[in-house]
Amino acid sequence: MARAATLLRPPSIGPEERRARIARLCAEMEKEDLGAVLLGPTASLRYFTGVAWHPSERFTGALVRRDGTVEYITPTFERDKVSQIVAVPGDILTWQEEESPYRLIADRLGNAARLAVDESVALFTWFGLCGAIDTARLARGGTLINRLRRRKSASEIALMQYAKDITLDVHRRAWQSLGPGMRASEVACLIEREHRALGGSGNTFCIVSFAEDTALPHGGEGDRVLKDGDAVLIDTGTEVDGYNSDITRSYVFGEPSAGYRAVWEAEKRAQAAAFEAARPGATCESVDAAARASLLRDGFGPDYTLPGLPHRTGHGIGLEVHEAPNLVRGDRTELAQGMCFSNEPMIVVPGKFGVRLEDHFYIADDGPRWFTQPQPCIDRPFENAAPLK
């Protein structure tokens, strides 16, 4: 194994980059004749303004006007807190408990402008807006916002690289710590501690599956005890400055059977086929098709038939673990520089085991680049991963 590496945390996203994002959002508003975009307490609010806010029944968000003006909307008692975390200056407008934030938004919008709404807001927020603003003036803002968010900057890619390096080493540490009689919940707790020890936020999620539970893509509902010869599937991630990792490793605790080895090798070939297909200008669905063609050659499928791949080949990632676009049939988005995806064409053998190898890549100007190198083999799953210190 390589000598231990020292990991240096990259800078957080700065105000200049956020202002540039708002400028691009304003250009999109100009194209679509929109007066403003309303951002709710979502990842998009953080993306544009730096405000990371937990959603609740009380609306907190931002109204971004086409001229670049930003107005924050929040309950009066939250004003001081919001003022401490904004990265892009703007007036902070408040509403009292008996008042409607949607009426406040309508008053600020005026009579003529069309408003695009962040589609990740709660449904009750949309209903509230419909009660305060003529619905003919409301537009869906998800596609517009995603066009900007899906192509990551060098700063975003650096933060994700840092998060993924942490998670890969946490996987290695978990593998080294496995022992007979360990429960899945014990391993998840160990992963939480190690994520924090290396500078992550802890687990943003953690799936630890043993034996037959590995055939369930999102794990079983019990708390299995690890036994010799069990298949192991661990899928976990952390967050750094809001940016996510999400890596899966599959191996056997003990000696893999010939059947497991054959499926693992087929999985590795499918992951490699998806990566090779991920060229600038190719469509998202063509990457999914490449993985499925590889699996079909190895006797799996077709399509979603099991044994085989029951879900999409991959998803976008950034401030959210799952972001559009996706590597799936029907998504004809063309791959472009800065897009980031998981690559995880899982093979499920019902009632026996599942194998998922998940790493992520980003699109450079001349092709895909791995964030983390794929698992090299079953027996020495981390021989190509330098430990961190």
Residue 351, domain member (yes or no): yes
Q: How many structural domains compose the chain?
A: 2
Integer angstrom CA distances of residue 346 from 179, 216, 263, 299, 343: 25, 10, 10, 14, 9
Residue 7, domain member (yes or no): no
Of all helices (H) and strands (E), which one includes residue 154? helix 154-177
- The CATH number of the domain holding residue 287 is 3.90.230.10
Q: Are residues 170 and 191 both part of a single domain?
A: yes
Which structural domain range is residue 62 located in? 15-149
Q: Are residues 339 and 360 both part of a single domain?
A: yes
> Looking at residue 222, what is its pLDDT?
94
- pTM metric for this prediction: 0.95
Residue 387, number of CB atoms within 10 A of its CB: 15
Q: Are residues 322 and 182 both part of a single domain?
A: yes
Reference 34, options 119, 148, 140, 128; nearest CA is 140
58-63, long-range: CB within 8 Å, 24+ apart, which pairs? 58/101, 59/101, 59/102, 59/125, 59/128, 61/118, 61/121, 62/38, 62/90, 63/36, 63/37, 63/38, 63/39, 63/105, 63/108, 63/109
What sign has the CA pseudo-torsion 73, 74, 79, 83?
Answer: negative
Residue 115, domain member (yes or no): yes
Residue whose pair of structure tokens reads 């900007």 in the numeric block: 148
Q: Are residues 175 and 235 both part of a single domain?
A: yes
pLDDT values of the chain reduced to their tens digit, one per residue, 389 residues: 455 677 899 999 999 999 999 999 999 999 999 999 999 999 999 999 999 999 999 999 999 999 999 999 999 999 999 999 999 999 999 999 999 999 999 999 988 789 999 999 999 999 999 999 999 999 999 999 999 999 999 999 999 999 999 999 999 999 999 999 999 999 999 999 999 999 999 999 999 999 999 999 999 999 999 999 999 999 999 999 999 999 999 999 999 999 999 999 999 999 999 999 999 999 999 999 999 999 999 999 999 999 999 999 999 999 999 999 999 999 999 999 999 999 999 999 999 999 999 999 999 999 999 999 999 999 999 998 888 87
Q: Are residues 135 and 190 both part of a single domain?
A: no
Q: Are residues 35 and 140 both part of a single domain?
A: yes
> Looking at residue 247, what is its pLDDT?
98
CA-to-CA distance for 174 and 196, rounded, in angstroms? Answer: 14
> Looking at residue 112, what is its pLDDT?
73
Q: How many residues appear in the chain?
A: 389
Q: Are residues 174 and 276 both part of a single domain?
A: yes
CA-to-CA distance for 194 and 118, rounded, in angstroms? Answer: 35
Q: Are residues 207 and 130 both part of a single domain?
A: no
Q: Are residues 158 and 144 both part of a single domain?
A: no
Give the DSSP letter of residue 3.
P
- Final residue before a domain boundary, out of 114, 149, 184: 149
CA-to-CA distance for 129 and 134, rounded, in angstroms? Answer: 9
CA-to-CA distance for 382 and 178, rounded, in angstroms? Answer: 14
- The CATH number of the domain holding residue 48 is 3.40.350.10
| Phi-psi category of residue 338: left, alpha or beta, with phi > 0 → left and psi -120 to 50 → alpha | left
Q: Are residues 176 and 325 both part of a single domain?
A: yes
> Looking at residue 1, what is its pLDDT?
45
Integer angstrom CA distances of residue 195 from 133, 158, 240, 361: 45, 18, 11, 21
Integer angstrom CA distances of residue 291 from 162, 274, 301: 27, 5, 11
Q: Are residues 324 and 276 both part of a single domain?
A: yes
Reference 272, options 347, 203, 345, 167; nearest CA is 345
DSSP sequence for 209-269: EEGGGGGSTT--SS-PBP-TTEEEEEEEE-EETTEE--EEEEEEESPPPHHHHHHHHHHHH
> Looking at residue 3, what is its pLDDT?
59
Cβ atoms of residues 9 and 200 within 8 Å = no
CA-to-CA distance for 224 and 231, rounded, in angstroms? Answer: 12
Q: Are residues 345 and 312 both part of a single domain?
A: yes
Reference 29, options 59, 61, 69; nearest CA is 69
